[in-house]
Amino acid sequence: MTGSRFFPAFLALLLSASLHAAPAPGQQAVATAHPVATEAAHQILDAGGNAFDAAVAAAATLGVVEPYGSGLGGGGFFLLRQAGIQPDYVFIDARETAPGRAHRDLYRDADGQVQRDIALNGPLAAAIPGLPAALVHLAERYGRLPLATSLAPAIEAAEAGFEVTERYRLLGGFRLAAMQRDPETARLFLRENGLPEVGELIRQPELAQTLRAMAAAGRQGFYAGPVGQRLLEVVQAEGGIWEQADFDAYKVIERQPVRFALQSHEVISAPLPSAGGIALAGVLQGQATLPPAERGSVAWTHQLVELMRRVYRDRAVMLGDADFVEVPVARLTSPEYARSLAESVDPDRATPSAELGLPTGFSEGDNTTHFSLIDADGNAVAATLSINLPFGAAFTIPGTGVILNNEMDDFAADPDGRNEYGLAGGEVNAIAPGKRPLSSMTPTMLESAEELAVLGTPGGSRIISMVLLGTLEALAGEPVEKWVSRPRFHHQYLPDRIQIEEGAFDAQLHDALEALGHRVESAGRDYGDMQAVYWNKRDNRLDAASDPRGVGSAGVRRQLMAD
Ligand code: GLY
């Protein structure tokens, strides 16, 4: 993607009607975190489904073959692009909600201490799942095919089984002790109470049954009937607080995405309860007002890090579920606000986070998954889905195959503390019944008259910085493979450090940044698992790429039904 620097918002909005007018690509592109899910999406597109049916298939299948990343027991966000109809962009918020009996001190013991174990492991850690409702909503409101057709590949995958990968073992390794404590999780996902070997087959017949119940009865197949009853029975027997009223009340919410102009493009991204779109607006619009710096240079990296520091600080202090707390979204996403952030950046010195003022504390987490796809008509979906930590709450409901999320840890259980990802958070993100925990999941699109980019990634608090870096690659006209593979760095205000992927900075860059006052530390070998698709409208070419760090796959095909 190419273009000049900052472009006035009003001009881009005038252009937005023409941005989306283009002939249909006539091909389909899919990138997901697992080859079985990529194939499921293609299969549904080949059967005459649109991008939204394919999204149902991909999401449901990822929940089967990546039990560590997402699933029916979790939630997520779907950013939809509708070709040729209004609204052109829709954001489906399928974030989990706090149960009705939850309260701000849910995880505190008699001494007022937050008990991390119950906040992370077992049924009390689980919020009310949103993914089942989202699959039904997508199929009924946006799809062309019956839900049962789009769920069929996931049912087949659950029955046939999938092969354990190194990634499964890596993520399972983080959660092994918790998984060993729950007999049903251990039975399904461990072997002799240890991690299964690479290549071992994991079958989930109970999950296939739950998916079949949804195929037959829609949302009632999950939130009521035998599946719903079983979920409630076990959660309540094991110390959880879910009730039928929580299931009945659960709704996906259609929201306006965050939208802003950048160069000759429009950026369309996640609104609250994700912090992603607001943070992107601050960094991208802010950097556009700073003196141009070469990509990868010391000045460029310093600018980005300083802006990340500021938007993550805002996140800690100001962001939460806007249906429950006042958040000045219009101000935070405005070019003027971004300019004020940029003006506070000292080009010659890192601003210590403490100088920006300490927040009172907050929370959020990951594992998570992402997929991106475009259909032959130009409809597109970017979806980021989560059960929070790998294997969620490490608790599976017997007879259903449903692994519970531990998304409650994305609230500020302790407004003075940090969550599992070291993120600080505050009162605005405190637990309340029915509230949605603040998220970093950032499904994003960039569109101009000539191009459409669709991207996103898992990665907890680092999701936003990864999407930011991918977006900058896209805007610089780099190929889609580069968006997903470029080395990564991150700053989240606290801890006051630049966290880098091993090898992301050479010695010169590292030393120059430290000389400005930054502290640089390694965040390990690989992080993230970005999935991206690209439509070049000029020559009607599609492209797709899956992050080489993961086990996913990406591909472009001519749509069978179009021939
Ligand atoms: N649980 C990951 C996120 O919502 O960002």
With a 6 A CB cut-off, is 366 part of the ligand 1 pocket? yes
Closest protein CA for atom 2 of ligand 1: 366
Question: Which of 407, 466, 490, when mutated, tests ligand 1's pocket best, judged by the most ligand atoms within 8 Å of its CB?
Answer: 407
CA 274 / ligand 1 centre spacing (Å) = 8
With a 6 A CB cut-off, is 127 part of the ligand 1 pocket? no
Contacts by residues 292-296 (CB-CB < 8 Å, ≥ 24 positions apart): 292/5, 295/472, 295/476, 296/509
Alpha helices, DSSP H, located in 448-528:
463-475, 480-485, 507-515
Residue (of 545, 450, 543) closest to 23 by Cα position: 450
CA 386 / ligand 1 centre spacing (Å) = 6
478 Cβ contact partners less than 8 Å away, ≥ 6 residues apart: 486
Given the CA of residue 407, which atom of ligand 1 is nearest to it? 1
- Output the CA torsion sign for 120, 122, 126, 129: positive
436 Cβ contact partners less than 8 Å away, ≥ 6 residues apart: 93, 95, 96, 97, 98, 273, 321, 323
C-alpha–C-alpha distance, residues 549 and 527, integer Å: 7
Residue 10 Cα distances to 312, 313, 485, angstroms: 27, 28, 33
With a 6 A CB cut-off, is 410 part of the ligand 1 pocket? yes
Question: Which is catalytic among the residues 368, 400, 444, 471?
Answer: 368
Read off the pTM: 0.95
CA 18 / ligand 1 centre spacing (Å) = 34
C-alpha–C-alpha distance, residues 19 and 446, integer Å: 10
The helix/strand/coil state of 424 is strand
pLDDT at residue number 558: 86
C-alpha–C-alpha distance, residues 57 and 143, integer Å: 11
With a 6 A CB cut-off, is 368 part of the ligand 1 pocket? yes
CA 90 / ligand 1 centre spacing (Å) = 20
CA 460 / ligand 1 centre spacing (Å) = 5
With a 6 A CB cut-off, is 406 part of the ligand 1 pocket? no
Question: Which of 272, 315, 441, when mutated, tests ligand 1's pocket best, judged by the most ligand atoms within 8 Å of its CB?
Answer: 441
Given the CA of residue 409, which atom of ligand 1 is nearest to it? 1
Q: Verify whether residue 368 is a known catalytic residue.
A: yes
Neighbour-count burial of 392, counting CB atoms closer than 10 A to its CB (0-12 exposed, 13-18 middle, 19+ buried):
buried
Question: Which of 78, 171, 319, 410, when mutated, tests ligand 1's pocket best, judged by the most ligand atoms within 8 Å of its CB?
Answer: 410
CA 306 / ligand 1 centre spacing (Å) = 23
Closest protein CA for atom 3 of ligand 1: 439
C-alpha–C-alpha distance, residues 422 and 200, integer Å: 34
How do the pLDDT tens digits run along the chain, 563 residues long?
Answer: 533 333 444 444 444 555 556 678 989 999 999 999 999 999 999 999 999 999 999 999 999 999 999 999 999 999 999 999 999 999 999 999 999 999 999 999 999 899 999 999 999 999 999 999 999 999 999 999 999 999 999 999 999 999 999 999 999 999 999 999 999 999 999 999 999 999 999 999 999 999 999 999 999 999 999 999 999 999 999 999 999 999 999 999 999 999 999 989 999 999 999 999 999 999 999 999 999 999 999 999 999 999 999 999 999 889 999 999 999 999 999 999 999 999 999 999 999 999 997 654 434 445 689 999 999 999 999 999 999 999 999 999 999 999 999 999 999 877 666 556 555 557 899 999 999 999 999 999 999 999 999 999 999 999 999 999 999 999 999 999 999 999 999 999 999 999 999 999 999 999 999 999 999 999 988 899 999 999 999 999 999 999 999 999 999 998 765 44
pLDDT at residue number 547: 98
With a 6 A CB cut-off, is 364 part of the ligand 1 pocket? yes
B/e letters for 234-245, b = 16+ CB within 10 Å, e = fewer, are bbeeeebbbbee
With a 6 A CB cut-off, is 272 part of the ligand 1 pocket? no
CA 388 / ligand 1 centre spacing (Å) = 6
CA 463 / ligand 1 centre spacing (Å) = 9
With a 6 A CB cut-off, is 273 part of the ligand 1 pocket? no
pLDDT at residue number 12: 45
With a 6 A CB cut-off, is 388 part of the ligand 1 pocket? yes
CA 501 / ligand 1 centre spacing (Å) = 20
Question: Which of 272, 315, 362, 364, when mutated, tests ligand 1's pocket best, judged by the most ligand atoms within 8 Å of its CB?
Answer: 364
With a 6 A CB cut-off, is 408 part of the ligand 1 pocket? no
The first and second tokens of residue 40, run together, are 């499921």
Length of the chain in terms of residues written: 563
